[in-house]
Structure 1
Amino acid sequence: MNRALLVIDVQQSFLQRPLWRAAYNPGITGPVSRLVDVARAEGDLVVWVLHSEPGTGDVFDPALGYVRPMDGLTPLPGEERITKTSHNCFTTTNLQQILTQRGIGELVVCGIRTEQCCETTARIGSDLGFGVSFVTDATATTPIPHRDAPPEASVEEILADPRTLGVEAIVERTEYALAGRFATIRTVAELAGAPTPVN
């Protein structure tokens, strides 16, 4: 085993946010479950990462009970579970130590959000010397309001604002930024060994 699957922030917290209904890949637990099954079958390390912001009263405050995997995702005994307080999975955790001790050389990245915690982890993982596969179709994200949008804007107002960065643009930008620099863009089907469709 020299490969690890990082399941990043696929947690109940996001389901509490109104903007989740406009998410890219809102059914993320399906593709993530498939990657977990593949990793377990191949003897790869599965690392479950949750984001926590203690004391904030936000959906990421563990006191509210949402800092747990989304329904349908269940870590097994012996699988690594870590909690982070930074955007990437390395800075505020012992993830690098865990991976080094286990002789991991390759990372498979999936989770929430595509352009934030997942992309940042992929970039740092690459800079630390790991080979990185970024599985875009096992990531999810939500539209990004313009920096000048009012903080109290409703979902409808955010989506109607032409300055809002839509999910398709976010995903495309992330793949362009990572491919050939920090990661190889992969699909769930590729990693699961599914046959390639013939056109």
Structure 2
Amino acid sequence: MTSALLVIDVQESFRQRASWAAVSNPFVVERISSLVDAARSRGELVVWVLHTEPGSGGPFDPSSGHVRLIPPLAATAGEPVVSKTSRNAFTTTNLQQLLTEAGVREVVVTGIQTEQCCETTARLAADYGYEVTFVTDATATFPIPHRDADATGVDAILGDPRTLGTNAIVERTEYALAGRFARIASTRELVAD
């Protein structure tokens, strides 16, 4: 096995936030599901990553009951599920050990949020020597309010002209990764391979 599909933070926690109404890619779960099916059919490793914030009392606190995959996504026997407390999937997990033991040399990155946990994982994976494929259309993100914004709530954030929209976030991520840290690919390309 030389390739692994990383499914990062595609969890109910995000659907508990008001910002879910402004998610950049409402089809992220379906696209990831097709990538999971393709990876499984090729005998590739699928690794599920869940973000946790123990003791926070929020939707990422394991005690909330929301730190679980968004259905119909589900791990099958032999597919590792790792919990992280950092932005990337390596620092606070045994992900690198799992990949090394499986003989993985290439990782395919999908999940939520495009510019945070997904991009950060892709950058670190490249630094660790993995070939990285970043599947932008199998990631999702949310508008980012300006650093000086007083607005709270999705409508106020979307109404502020200083808000960084999801298209700009995704485009910036692709610019930052392509040719440096990762190859950018689409779900369609990878499912067809």
TM-score by length of 1: 0.95
Q: Is the 8 A contact 1:20 1:26 kept in 2?
A: no
Instruction: Say which SS state the counterpart of residue 117 (structure 1) adopts.
Output: helix
Q: Deviations over 1:87-139 (max 9, x none)?
A: 00000001001111111000000000000000000000000000000000000
**1:188 aligned residue:** 187
1-structure distance, mates of 2:31, 2:74:
14
1-structure distance, mates of 2:94, 2:154:
37
Instruction: Say which SS state the counterpart of residue 192 (structure 2) adopts.
Output: coil
Instruction: Say which SS state the counterpart of residue 75 (structure 1) adopts.
Output: coil
Q: Is the 8 A contact 1:145 1:164 kept in 2?
A: yes
**2:21 aligned residue:** 21
**2:94 aligned residue:** 94
- 1:144 equivalent to 2:144? Answer yes
Query: 5+ residue gaps in structure 2?
Result: none
Give the drift of 1:27: 2.4
**1:135 aligned residue:** 135
**2:108 aligned residue:** 108
Q: Is the 8 A contact 1:90 1:121 kept in 2?
A: yes
Instruction: Say which SS state the counterpart of residue 164 (structure 1) adopts.
Output: coil
Instruction: Say which SS state the counterpart of residue 72 (structure 1) adopts.
Output: coil
2-structure distance, mates of 1:157, 1:117:
25
Aligned length: 193
Q: Deviations over 1:140-180 (max 9, x none)?
A: 00000111112x61211100101100000000000000000
2-structure distance, mates of 1:8, 1:34:
15
Look up the equivalent residue of 2:191 and give its one-letter code. Answer: A
Aligned positions of 1:2-151 closer than 5 A: 2-150=2-150
Question: Runs of 4+ in structure 1 displaced over 2 angstroms?
Answer: none
2-structure distance, mates of 1:46, 1:155:
33
Look up the equivalent residue of 2:21 and give its one-letter code. Answer: R
| Aligned residues: CA RMSD | 0.9
1-structure distance, mates of 2:135, 2:94:
23
2-structure distance, mates of 1:147, 1:132:
31
- 1:162 equivalent to 2:161? Answer yes
2-structure distance, mates of 1:51, 1:160:
29
